Amino acid sequence: MTNSKNLNFRNRFTELGPEFYQAKSPDPVTDPYLIDFSPSAAQLIDLAPDEEENKDFLDRFSGNCPLEGAQPLAMAYSGHQFGSYNPRLGDGRGLLLGEVQNQKQEIWDIHLKGAGPTRFARGFDGRATLQSSIREHLASEALNGLGIPTTRSLAIIGIRELIYRQRPELAAILVRLADSHIRFGSFEFFHYTGQAQNVKRLLEFAIESYYPDIAQESDRYRIFFQRTVQRTAKLIAKWQSVGFIHGVMNTDNMCITGTTFDYGPYGFMDRFVASHTPNHSDTHGRYAYSQQSEIGFWNLNKLAETLVPLVGAENLEEEMKQYQPTFNRFYREEMGDKLGLAILDSEFTQLVQKMFHLLQDLQLDYTNFFRFLADYPGTSRSQNNELRSWLNQYLELAKREGISQEERKVEMDSVNPKFILRNHLIQSALDKALKESDFSEIKRLRIILENPYQTQPEIFEKFRIDAEYYSQDTPESFLSQQTSCSA
């Protein structure tokens, strides 16, 4: 364990050269204060779990005091937003402080989001709202709890500055940790500005950093793309499985390591509506739940276009052909696990298809349905005929597995979360924070969502809070909520 003064920085990205970034330090802030700190994220960079109490922690991570060894920079990238190419993106308010190597030899990027305007800011203020920082913090830690690859959130640091969106808002800095900050859009930037040599450099850098095992292979560029396809397919299958909707799958928000990246107007499926999008600006539902796997394919195609000179169009096409079957395979396995079924035959496929019709027709809560199923037939609830007949069919297939109901329950409960980041839970954490400067609900939620598959009675006892409130179906007034990009 160490403290934030002794982080082991190994800044590889700076070596790529000035076309790749703007070197820039965070803007100083007055009187930064801690909103929340994640000890489990701290562990990733060998920071002590109580590092937040270090008197210099806030100054170091808000930009007031330089971190020894850090070489902060804003990365250049572009990307496709809602299907159209935007040549001018880049870290307008984010800074990569540097890469830290931990004792396990893993390398983690430390990134500040909301650290002041950079040359990519396009006239925006370079800051992030406290609200959006809380939303990203909770979602990062929640997805990690669910076992889904994601950027992490070490801390939210409040800054005493009002920023203007639709109205004046409180601002904050999010301290993000990630295995990579290279986006599909990073490749697009160099491709569309005619810098073929830098596409190649970035690709070599990515291979060296993330896939050293293939560094000597002659077809490593192709293998890199193949792995990106696989990881993206796997990630989206996992999102679908827990009902996570990213909400803004632009190519600049797609990380090449298949990590959930850049949380904006995300959401979790509550009452099942396949066409739901949590993004208020997404009027055509481009990034709706039901579209995510297809958008993954679309985005990978955009990445592929940048690699044509290096990998060859035919090879890339071959790899792209693997996307859908790979996604289907992962998704099928996820669904099998959720249902406690290992025999994934045509009867299983039919059962799953019917299940989604029922979920949608009966407007069932997606998450709680699987917890109910794990207990079935031990518990009953009012059922209509269609559901009853489906449940009978389900039990038939469960019987074929040759495991006891108790075993099935244990297996199912270990993959079907009891707790997800529901809108009413986020809202209450936001209300307390924004209206009363009370950040305790953010902390409680983070802790509960660290172990979303477990009932955790001790936590509820400790905090004297009602477990039912955290696991119940989302209340009517919070269903299918949408958030705007700046919120």
Q: Give the whole-angstrom CA distance, residue 174 versus residue 283.
A: 29
Let me know: does 193 contact 283? Beta carbons within 8 Å.
no
Residue 121, binding choice from ligand AMP, Mg ion, none, Cβ under 5 to 8 Å by partner class: ligand AMP
Closest CA to 106 of 13, 10, 6: 10
Query: In this chain, which stretch among 24-32, 115-123, 354-362, 431-439 interacts with ligand AMP, using CB under 6 A?
Result: 115-123
Q: Which does 91 bind (CB under 5 to 8 A by kind): Mg ion, ligand AMP, none?
A: ligand AMP
Output the smallest distance, CB 145 to ligand AMP, in A. 23
Tokens of 233: 């397919």
Q: Minimum CB separation from ligand AMP for residue 121, in Å? A: 4
Least separation in angstroms between residue 100's CB and ligand AMP is 22
The span of 69-77, 102-110, 111-119, 245-253 binding Mg ion (CB under 5 A) equals 245-253
Three-state secondary-structure class, residue 323: helix
438 is catalytic: no
340 binds, among ligand AMP, Mg ion, none (CB under 5 to 8 A by kind): none
Q: Say if CB 22 and CB 73 are below 8 A apart.
A: yes
- Residue 76 or 391: the one with the smaller Cβ distance to ligand AMP is 76
Distance of CA 391 to the CA centre of its chain: 33
Closer of 264 and 417 to ligand AMP (Cβ): 264
Q: Can you tell me which of 39, 66, 69, 117 binds ligand AMP, judged by CB under 6 A?
A: 117
Closest to ligand AMP by CB, 120 or 327 = 120
Distance CA 364, CA 341 (A): 21
Told to check if 188 binds ligand AMP by CB under 6 A, we report no
Q: Which of 316, 266, 326 is nearest to 293 (CA)?
A: 326
Task: Name the residue nearer to ligand AMP (CB basis): 150 or 241.
Answer: 150
List 19, 56, 125, 204, residue binding ligand AMP (CB under 6 A): 125
Residues 6+ apart with CB under 8 A from 100: 7, 8, 9, 10, 45, 107, 108, 109, 110
The answer to whether 115 and 157 have CB atoms below 8 angstroms apart is: no
From 98-106, 123-131, 218-226, 314-322, span contacting ligand AMP (CB under 6 A): 123-131
Residues 267-326 that bind ligand AMP (CB under 6 A): none
> By rule CB under 5 A, what count of residues binds Mg ion?
2
| CB of 103 closer than 8 Å to CB of 51 | no
- Choose between 59 and 262: whose C-beta lies nearer to Mg ion: 262
Cβ proximity to ligand AMP, 33 vs 82, nearer residue: 82
Q: Which of ligand AMP, Mg ion, none does residue 336 bind (CB under 5 to 8 Å by kind)?
A: none
Q: Which span (85-93, 228-236, 366-374, 377-385) binds ligand AMP, by CB under 6 A?
A: 85-93
**Chain residues 255-284 in contact with Mg ion, contact rule CB under 5 A:** 262
How far from each other are the two terminal CA atoms of the chain, in whole angstroms? 36
* Closest to 110 (Cα-Cα) out of 203, 181, 55, 51: 181
Mapping DSSP to helix (H, G, I), strand (E, B) and coil, where does residue 374 land? Answer: helix
Q: How far apart are CA 209 and CA 13, in angstroms?
A: 10
Interface pick for ligand AMP out of 124, 321, 410, 472 (rule CB under 6 A): 124
Q: Which of 98, 126, 267, 296 binds ligand AMP (CB under 6 A)?
A: 126
Tell me the closest approach of the beta carbon of residue 124 to ligand AMP, in angstroms. 3
Pick from 60, 93, 135, 408 the residue near ligand AMP by CB under 6 A: 93
Spot the catalytic one: 46, 179, 252, 262.
252
- How many other CB atoms are found less than 10 A from the CB of residue 244? 27
Binding segment for ligand AMP (CB under 6 A), chosen from 119-127, 346-354, 377-385, 426-434, is 119-127
Give the footprint of ligand AMP on residues 239-268 (CB under 6 A): 253, 262, 264
- What are the distances in angstroms from CA 154 to CA 53, 67, 112, 126, 202? 14, 15, 10, 20, 27
Closer residue to Mg ion in complex, CB, 76/311: 76
Distance CA 439, CA 476 (A): 25
Contact with Mg ion (CB under 5 A) among 150, 253, 292, 416: 253
Q: Please report where in the chains the tokens 């990205």 appear, as a residue.
A: 13
Long-range contacts, stretch 37-43, CB < 8 angstroms, 24+ apart = 37/154, 37/155, 38/137, 38/141, 38/152, 38/153, 38/154, 38/155, 38/446, 40/141, 40/144, 40/450, 41/141, 41/144, 41/152, 41/153, 41/154, 41/177, 42/154
Say whether residue 121 binds ligand AMP (CB under 6 A).
yes
Nearest to 108 by CA among 118, 97, 117, 116: 97
| Residues with catalytic function | 252
List residues binding ligand AMP (CB under 6 A): 89-94, 117, 120-121, 124-127, 253, 262, 264, 485
List residues binding Mg ion (CB under 5 A): 253, 262
